[in-house]
Structure 1
Amino acid sequence: MTPEQESQHLKQASNEELCAYLAAKIRRSRKLRKESQVQFAARAGIALRTYKRLETYGQGHLETFLKALSALDRCHYLNLLFPFDQPKPRTLSLEERLEAMRKRSSESNN
C-alpha cells in the first residue's frame, strides 16, 4: 500500500481499525528492534499483560500507548498530530489596498 493509499484508508477507518493499525505499528517496531514482548514491556515500564493487550488488541489507556511510544523513541512525532496553526494574514479590502497605494504614491512623490 502506498503512503497515499494508507492515508486515505486511515481517513475512513473506524476507531477499532485505527486501534488495530496502531497496535500493528507498535508490534512491528518492537520486532524490528528484536525485542520480546517481555523485554519491551519491562523497558517501557508497562506490565506485560497490559502491553500484550495493547499490542494484540489495540486496547489500553493513553498512558500505556505513550509509554510504548517513548520506548520506541517516537514521542517527538506527536507534534505532527497537531501542527501549529499560523494565523492567516487578514486580507485587505479593496478600499484599504487603494488607500495604501495612495499613501505609498504620496510618500514617493515627497
Structure 2
Amino acid sequence: MTPEQESQHLKQASNEELCAYLAAKIRRSRKLRKESQVQFAARAGIALRTYKRLETYGQGHLETFLKALSALDRCHYLNLLFPFDQPKPRILSLEERLEAMRKRSSESNN
C-alpha cells in the first residue's frame, strides 16, 4: 500500500481499525528492535499483561500508548498530529474585500 493509499484508508477507518493499525505499528517497531514483549514491556514500564492487550487488541489507556511511544523513541512525532494550532484566517467575501479597498482608498486620499 502506498503512503497515499494508507492515508486514504486511515481517513475512512473505524475506531477499531485505527486501534488495530496503531497496535500493528507498535508490534512491528518492537520486533524491528528484536525485543520480546517481556523485554519491551519492562523497558517501557508497562505491565506485561497490559502491554500484550495494547499490542494484540489495540486496547489500553492513553498513558500506556504514550509509554510505548516513548520506549520506541517516537514521542517527538506527536506534534505532527495537530499541525495547525493557529486558527486559519477567515476568507473575506468579494463584497468585504471591495469595502476594505474602498476604506483604504479613502484613508489614503485624506
Calculate the TM-score normalised by the size of structure 2: 0.80
Separation in structure 1 between the aligned mates of residue 67 and residue 90 of structure 2, nearest angstrom? 42
Instruction: Return 6-15 or 78-87, whichever deviates more.
Output: 78-87
For residue 66 of structure 1, give the secondary structure of its aligned residue in structure 2.
Answer: helix
Gaps of 5+ in 1: none
Measured after TM superposition, the shift of residue 14 of structure 1 is 0.5
**Identity %, equivalent residues:** 99
Query: Structure 1 residues 49 and 8, CA, compared in 2 at 3 Å: closer, same or farther?
Result: same
Query: Structure 1 residues 74 and 92, CA, compared in 2 at 3 Å: closer, same or farther?
Result: same
Count the aligned residue pairs: 110
For residue 8 of structure 2, give the secondary structure of its aligned residue in structure 1.
Answer: helix
Query: Structure 1 residues 92 and 70, CA, compared in 2 at 3 Å: closer, same or farther?
Result: same
Q: For residues 47-78 of structure 1, what are the alpha-carbon distances to aligned partners after superposition, in whole Å with 9 as ceiling and x for unaligned?
A: 00000000001011111000000000001111
Gaps of 5+ in 2: none
Measured after TM superposition, the shift of residue 83 of structure 1 is 1.4
Separation in structure 1 between the aligned mates of residue 49 and residue 4 of structure 2, nearest angstrom? 35
Calculate the TM-score normalised by the size of structure 1: 0.80
Separation in structure 1 between the aligned mates of residue 40 and residue 46 of structure 2, nearest angstrom? 8
Aligned CA RMSD, in angstroms, stands at 2.5
Runs of 4+ off more than 6 Å = 90-110
- Higher-Rg member (1/2): 1
